[in-house]
Amino acid sequence: MRTEKEGTMVSRRQFFGRGAALALGAGLVSKVGAASLPEAPQMDSAAMQPPLAPPNGRPYRPVATLNGWTSPWRMKDGWKEFHLVAEPVRREIAPGMVANLWGYNGQSPGPTIECVEGDRVRIFVTNRLPEHTTIHWHGILLPNGMDGVGGLNQPQIPVGKTFVYEFEMTKSGTFMYHPHADEMVQMAMGMMGFLVVHPKNPKAVRGYAEVDRDFVFLLNAYDIDPGSATPKINTMLDFNLWTWNSRAFPGIDSLVVRKDDRVRIRLANLSMTSHPIHVHGHRFWLVETDGGQVPRSAWVPDTTLNIAAGQTRAVEFVADLEGDWPLHCHKSHHAMNAMGHEIPNAIGADVKAVGRRMSRLVSGYMAMGANGMSEHAEHSKFHDLPENTLPMMTGDGPFGPLEMGGMFTVFKVRDALSSYADPGWYAHPDGTVARKVDAAPPGLAEWESGGGE
Ligand SMILES: [Cu+2]
């Protein structure tokens, strides 16, 4: 798993210079304005980039975007200026699979935007998609004409044009951005990003605590047929790739923290269904919703938080127990990768007899599923999958195959860390791992001789 490996952030000017023979449209920003557009940096890597410490403006502790990056800005006359470019991108979903998505500045999701309560922001949006778009700033309280709903409170951004949004961040919190134009297509193609507003005066925010590690990721989903690379955009519910920041396990970064770190995890859901996110070894408190911070007196401990489509949530806890702990969606089909849905249920069937007969007709036929699907996990690793297709249940741990995929990652708590780079697998102290015992339980002899079949 790759963690905080430096990708290459290139400026749009360099990007164009590298042979992408493209030019910004004349834009709806005036020619004078266009001349002073801020750079729109591009990211060419799906690896998590180091948190971006603010070079100017009010200080804050920056967030870490799982398998993502944070947009730099330029400060101009007291405004923080960002430049997003909506465009087709190629996104590695996990090693072995790349998808043709739509996103921002080279990746899906787009870069995380971070600012501080009270900041005035100016966000330029250039449309390099084959159709019009807009950006809606989900959860932000702003003037109606900056809300980004195409046709309702702004004209659509035509192909090749640049629009500018200007507003003040009047409250801190956990937000996101996404198009409000041809939504079904544009969100199915991966257009979304995270938006974090840090409090100006943290002590004045009820329930707010400083944290040591602050992670963000979006819950999203795609329907990409095995052997292909482009999402089917008409799918309503039957998605087959369940992702965090457009990555599937084992391509999702681990969350690395030092023992006793206070940790915040901010999640936003732009898929079409809910995701009960479950942490092992710890309990967390829901501290923030799209609507704002939850007062401390209303915090409730939990280990699973169901996040509905369109919600943002932040949870906090102290990571006080060392180890490698799963953090995953508890819908079990969301913690695996693309699979055929029409597999007959063979649990308990005598597939061996069927297999013997089938193998006479079809060379290489292998009947599966009578004893569960784990044999399929092993099988799919070693047999031909269509090109550009992830195994259904995958990932290897220190004790063997993990048999997971999709919305699953590992939360790694370590006592002595010199950096937040991936520390590898947890070394369990002697005698602290579940182990085989030699005593035979009563009745085992009958079970082994077939009585328990
Ligand atoms: Cu889920």
Q: Tens digit of pLDDT for each residue in 418-427?
A: 999 999 999 9
Distance 331 CA to ligand 1 centre (A): 5
Q: Mean pLDDT of all residues in the chain?
A: 86
Neighbours of 18 (CB within 10 A): 9
Distance 67 CA to ligand 1 centre (A): 18
Distance 80 CA to ligand 1 centre (A): 35
Distance 42 CA to ligand 1 centre (A): 30
Distance 263 CA to ligand 1 centre (A): 22
Distance 334 CA to ligand 1 centre (A): 5
- Counting beta carbons within 10 angstroms of the beta carbon of residue 46, is it exposed (0 to 12), middle (13 to 18) or buried (19 or more)? buried
Neighbours of 71 (CB within 10 A): 22
Distance 3 CA to ligand 1 centre (A): 23
Distance 330 CA to ligand 1 centre (A): 6
Asked if 410 contacts 251 with a C-beta cutoff of 8 angstroms, the reply is: no
Q: What CATH superfamily is the domain 1-338+403-453?
A: Cupredoxins -  blue copper proteins (2.60.40.420)
Distance 233 CA to ligand 1 centre (A): 19
Separation of alpha carbons 222 and 98, rounded Å: 12
Q: Is the pLDDT of residue 376 over 70?
A: no
Distance 336 CA to ligand 1 centre (A): 10
**Which segments of the chain belong to CATH 2.60.40.420?**
1-338+403-453
Separation of alpha carbons 220 and 381, rounded Å: 25
Distance 259 CA to ligand 1 centre (A): 28
Q: Is the pLDDT of residue 243 over 60?
A: yes
Q: Is the pLDDT of residue 445 over 80?
A: no
Neighbours of 109 (CB within 10 A): 33
Distance 407 CA to ligand 1 centre (A): 7
Distance 172 CA to ligand 1 centre (A): 27
Q: Is the pLDDT of residue 392 over 90?
A: no
Q: pLDDT tens digits, residue range 430-440? A: 999 999 988 87
Distance 248 CA to ligand 1 centre (A): 12
Find where tokens 């006479």 sit: 360
Kindly indicate the confidence band of residue 158, based on its pLDDT and cuts at 50, 70 and 90: very high
Q: Is the pLDDT of residue 379 over 60?
A: no
Kindly indicate the confidence band of residue 271, based on its pLDDT and cuts at 50, 70 and 90: very high
Q: Is the pLDDT of residue 345 over 80?
A: no
Q: Is the pLDDT of residue 336 over 90?
A: no
Q: Is the pLDDT of residue 3 over 50?
A: no
Distance 285 CA to ligand 1 centre (A): 20
Distance 241 CA to ligand 1 centre (A): 10
Distance 313 CA to ligand 1 centre (A): 15
Q: pLDDT tens digits, residue range 299-315? A: 999 999 999 999 999 99
Over residues 199-217, mean pLDDT: 88
Task: Give CA separation, 314 vs 97, 261, 263, 264, 317, in Å.
Answer: 30, 16, 10, 7, 10
Distance 53 CA to ligand 1 centre (A): 32
Query: Helix or strand or coil: residue 341?
Result: coil
- Over its C-alpha atoms, the chain yields an Rg (Å, rounded) of 24
pLDDT at 204: 82
Separation of alpha carbons 111 and 86, rounded Å: 11
Distance 157 CA to ligand 1 centre (A): 33
DSSP string covering 413-432, please?
A: EESS-SSSS---S--PPTT-
Q: Is the pLDDT of residue 390 over 80?
A: yes
